[in-house]
């Protein structure tokens, strides 16, 4: 039997500060690695968006990647999807869109971070794709400039730097543990007191080196004495404690990136405030109208609780447009150009516009996206210059049948020349309900043409009028299949009682508003449970361009009942019962509600 001895055996000292050997591509340690990667991706995306917002605060709000991508998404969204969003989200449709964009960005960021945790290059490639989409979206915006791509480029660069830093910090704890495990001596050597490390005569016996068979080991004089001075395996030893510094580095890096993201985003928001037109709007003083609206007729307002007010307050007036960020136009920088098929092109400043003879008119506006009984209708007192007068000043040429108006945001709207020149109160408006136009409704100037849906008449933030033909050019919505000619359809709406409400038996007021702008309303009728039609009482008419309030006193009996309403306009035409959607030129049908009488 051969004896094996350790006498004279010499071992190299263990270097606890040695780096881990390269074992090829790093592999994520399970779900914890994925979690740290996902968090790294989210923080890197937050840094990218924060820095982009900061740069947009310098270059202008249109450069924000969220705004650019959101605007492009609106333009590419199919018409049925747009109509669905407007019908179900209403004035919150843009909030829903932005929320959806952030959700998609968060998912994209999580995927990028998870990839980067294992393959950093793949994560950086994902950020590059994100940047390419942002730059492409910014360049496709109608009012885009060269500087509008800078926020996205700066944001992607910052996001890449943040991702690299975070991924390296996330890996550091795992790498440190790997370096210790490579020696096979992590427990004993790492636990030795400082004075014991590096002793060449020491040998730690592991399961791989000790023979536990019948051949006994000769522990000669050079063997280690495992006496009272043996290694103290206290609470500070072990691989779990070796990971703490790496985890701390990752948490510190993550906290730092969060601070950068929040600070950059807040700084961008502060800088963007300098583009606001609110202060300039508050300084505008509107002149008195050269042609004032007559006093509102007595009886034009019915005293019925819950009915739509005759004048819609500015802050309650519906808003439907494609802008995620409201255009901010200073009146000092605003101009209107009238060109195209005219003899004398005209250019007006805001001061020039206020010096024009201004007309005051009560006009009801309706959006083509308004479903039967929907909320996208409002009545206001408008103040503005005569559009017909401005076109005559420019010298309208024969053959021009379209006014193609352009907003500062690039939106185009087409209006029939005949509707502007036939004597109705078609206005280039500067005031709404006795105040300068709200920014959300077109400050400093917009178009208002009675009788036409807004997508063919109500250009907000207007900056250009081009006289042309329908055959030569198409506007934004007509390019997407909406009708070029779109007079507002006759409609009545039930405001009270509310759908699915419970009302007491006996006398119940059924009331609402009806409109047929530029034709007027001559009658409103109500039917219960598809029975006979009963004529409602109309409020006094304030001309033919506004809606009229109406009320019918119902002797309600207990049970579940359906109420329907229909209107007849000033030409004698009664609205059809045939239900159609809003595309391509406005919805039709009778409004109805179901109520329970107790």
Residues in the chain: 598
Q: Is the Cβ–Cβ distance between 507 and 555 less than 8 Å? A: yes
Q: Name the residue among 436, 327, 318, 399 with its Cα closest to residue 366.
A: 318
- Residue 422, pLDDT score: 96
Which tokens hold the place of 247?
């985890």
Q: Please, what's the b/e burial string for 176-186 (b: 16 or more CB within 10 A of its CB; e: otherwise)?
A: bbbbbeeeebb
- Residue 322, pLDDT score: 84
- Residue 8, pLDDT score: 43
For CATH 2.60.40.650, the residue range(s) in the chain are 491-597
Q: Indicate if the pLDDT at residue 497 is higher than 50.
A: yes
pLDDT band at 244 (very low <50, low <70, confident <90, very high): low
- Measured distance CA(188)–CA(209) in Å, rounded: 15
Mean pLDDT of 442-447: 98
- Residue 177, pLDDT score: 47
Least confident of 118-132, 152-166, 217-231: 217-231
- Residue 381, pLDDT score: 98
Other C-beta atoms closer than 10 Å to the C-beta of 439 total 19
Least confident of 60-69, 284-293, 470-479: 60-69
Residue indicated by tokens 């007729």: 297
Q: What is the pLDDT of residues 547-577, one digit of tens each?
A: 999 999 999 999 999 999 999 999 999 999 9
Q: What is the pLDDT of residues 395-424, one digit of tens each?
A: 999 999 999 999 998 999 999 999 999 999
- Measured distance CA(536)–CA(551) in Å, rounded: 5
List, in sequence order, every beta strand (DSSP E) within 149-203.
Answer: none
Residue 84, SS3 per DSSP: helix
Q: Is the Cβ–Cβ distance between 414 and 377 less than 8 Å? A: no
Q: What is the pLDDT of residues 176-226, one digit of tens each?
A: 444 444 444 444 444 444 444 443 333 434 444 334 444 444 444 444 444
pLDDT band at 263 (very low <50, low <70, confident <90, very high): very high
Q: Indicate if the pLDDT at residue 289 is higher than 60.
A: yes
- Residue 206, pLDDT score: 42
Rounding to the nearest 10 degrees, give the CA dihedral for residues 59, 60, 63, 64.
110
Task: List all residues 6 or more positions away from 364 whose beta carbon is below 8 Å from its beta carbon.
Answer: 377, 378, 379, 450, 515, 517, 545, 546, 547
Q: Indicate if the pLDDT at residue 1 is higher than 70.
A: no
Q: With residue 507 as reference, give the H or E element that holds it.
A: strand 506-515
Q: Is the Cβ–Cβ distance between 565 and 493 less than 8 Å? A: yes
In angstroms, what CA-CA distances link 198 with 34, 182, 183? 38, 17, 14
Question: Average model confidence (pLDDT) for the chain?
Answer: 84
How far is Cα of residue 292 from the mean position of the Cα atoms in its chain?
Answer: 40
- With pLDDT > 70 as the criterion, what percentage of the chain qualifies? 81
DSSP letter at 355 equals T
- CA 444-445-451 angle, 5° bins: 150
- Residue 347, pLDDT score: 97
For 22-79, give the secondary structure using H, E and C: CCCCCCCCHHHHHHHHHHHHHHHHHHHHHHHHHHHHHHCHHHCHHHHHHHHHHHHCCH
Which tokens hold the place of 508?
């119940």
- Measured distance CA(509)–CA(227) in Å, rounded: 101
Q: Indicate if the pLDDT at residue 19 is higher than 50.
A: no
Mean pLDDT of 149-155: 91
- Measured distance CA(567)–CA(494) in Å, rounded: 11
491-597 is classed CATH 3.40.50.2000: no
Q: Name the residue among 52, 80, 54 with its Cα closest to residue 66.
A: 52
- Residue 373, pLDDT score: 96
Is pLDDT larger for residue 307 or for residue 136?
A: 307
- Residue 102, pLDDT score: 84
Which of the residue ranges 6-20, 217-231, 265-279, 365-379 has the most confident prediction, judged by mean pLDDT?
365-379
Which tokens hold the place of 81?
């999807």
- Residue 80, pLDDT score: 78
For CATH 3.90.420.10, the residue range(s) in the chain are 314-479
- Residue 243, pLDDT score: 45
- Measured distance CA(77)–CA(81) in Å, rounded: 6
Q: Indicate if the pLDDT at residue 47 is higher than 80.
A: yes
How far is Cα of residue 159 from the mean position of the Cα atoms in its chain?
Answer: 22
- Residue 259, pLDDT score: 95
- Residue 560, pLDDT score: 98
The CATH class of the 314-479 domain is alpha beta
Q: Name the residue among 213, 197, 40, 208 with its Cα closest to residue 117.
A: 40
- Residue 433, pLDDT score: 98
Q: Name the residue among 546, 497, 579, 578 with its Cα closest to residue 377.
A: 546
In angstroms, what CA-CA distances link 578 with 581, 582, 591? 10, 13, 11
Residue 298, SS3 per DSSP: coil
Q: Name the residue among 331, 329, 328, 319 with its Cα closest to residue 286.
A: 331
Mean pLDDT of 266-293: 92
First to last CA, the chain: 107
- Measured distance CA(432)–CA(281) in Å, rounded: 13
Q: What share of the chain is helix, strand, coil (3-state, %, to 5)?
A: 35, 20, 40
DSSP string, 427-473: EEEEEETTEEPPGGGTTT-EEE-TTB-GGGT--SSEEEEEEE-TTT-
């Amino acid at each position: 039997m051969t004896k094996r001895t350790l006498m004279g055996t010499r071992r190299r000292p263990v270097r606890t500060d040695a780096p881990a050997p390269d074992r090829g591509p790093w592999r994520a340690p399970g779900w914890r690695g994925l979690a740290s990667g996902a968090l790294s991706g989210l923080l890197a995306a937050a840094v990218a968006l924060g820095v982009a917002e900061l740069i947009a605060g310098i270059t202008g709000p249109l450069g924000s990647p969220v705004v650019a991508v959101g605007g492009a998404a609106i333009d590419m969204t199919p018409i049925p999807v747009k109509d669905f969003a407007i019908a179900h989200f209403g004035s919150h449709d843009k909030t829903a869109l932005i929320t959806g964009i952030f959700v998609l960005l968060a998912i994209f960021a999580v995927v990028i971070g998870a990839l980067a945790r294992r393959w950093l290059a793949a994560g950086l490639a994902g950020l590059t794709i994100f940047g390419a989409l942002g730059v492409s979206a910014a360049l496709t915006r109608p009012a885009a400039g060269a500087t509008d791509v800078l926020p996205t480029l700066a944001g992607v660069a910052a996001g890449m730097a943040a991702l690299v830093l975070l991924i390296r910090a996330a890996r550091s704890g795992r790498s440190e543990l790997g370096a210790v495990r490579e020696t096979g001596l992590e427990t004993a050597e790492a636990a030795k007191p400082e004075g014991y490390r590096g002793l060449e005569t020491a040998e730690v016996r592991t399961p791989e080196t000790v023979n536990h068979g019948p051949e006994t080991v000769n522990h000669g004089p050079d063997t280690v004495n495992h006496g009272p001075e043996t290694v103290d395996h206290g609470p500070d030893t072990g691989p779990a404690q070796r990971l703490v510094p790496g985890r701390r580095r990752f948490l510190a890096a993550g906290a730092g990136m969060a601070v950068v993201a929040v600070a950059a985003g807040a700084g961008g928001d502060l800088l963007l405030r300098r583009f606001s037109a609110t202060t300039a709007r508050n300084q505008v003083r509107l002149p008195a109208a050269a042609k004032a609206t007559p006093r509102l007729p007595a009886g034009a307002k019915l005293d019925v609780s819950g009915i739509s007010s005759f004048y819609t307050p500015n802050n309650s007036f519906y808003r439907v447009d494609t802008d995620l960020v409201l255009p901010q136009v200073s009146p000092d920088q605003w101009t209107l150009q009238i060109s195209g098929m005219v003899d004398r092109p005209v250019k007006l400043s805001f001061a020039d516009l206020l010096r024009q003879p201004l007309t005051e008119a009560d006009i009801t506006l309706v959006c083509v996206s308004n479903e039967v009984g929907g909320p996208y209708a409002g009545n206001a007192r408008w103040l503005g210059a005569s559009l017909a007068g401005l076109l005559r000043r420019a010298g309208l040429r024969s053959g021009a049948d379209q006014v193609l108006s352009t907003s500062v945001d690039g939106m185009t709207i087409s209006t029939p020349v005949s509707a502007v020149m036939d004597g109705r109160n078609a206005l280039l408006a500067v005031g709404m309900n006795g105040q300068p136009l709200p920014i959300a409704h077109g400050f400093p100037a917009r178009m208002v043409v009675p009788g036409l849906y807004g997508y063919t008449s109500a250009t907000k933030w207007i900056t250009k009028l081009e006289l042309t033909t329908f055959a030569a050019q198409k506007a934004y919505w007509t390019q997407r299949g909406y009708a070029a000619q779109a007079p507002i359809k006759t409609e009545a709406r039930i405001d009270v009682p509310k759908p699915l409400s419970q009302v007491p038996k006996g006398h119940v007021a059924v009331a609402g508003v009806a409109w047929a702008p530029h034709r007027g309303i001559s009658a409103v009728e109500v039917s219960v449970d598809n029975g006979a039609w009963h004529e409602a009482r109309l409020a006094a008419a304030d001309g033919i361009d506004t809606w009229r309030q109406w009320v019918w006193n119902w002797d309600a009996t207990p049970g579940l009942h359906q109420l329907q309403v229909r209107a007849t306009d000033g030409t004698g035409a009664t609205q059809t019962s045939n239900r159609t959607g809003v595309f391509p030129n406005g919805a039709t049908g009778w409004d109805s509600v179901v109520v329970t009488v107790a």
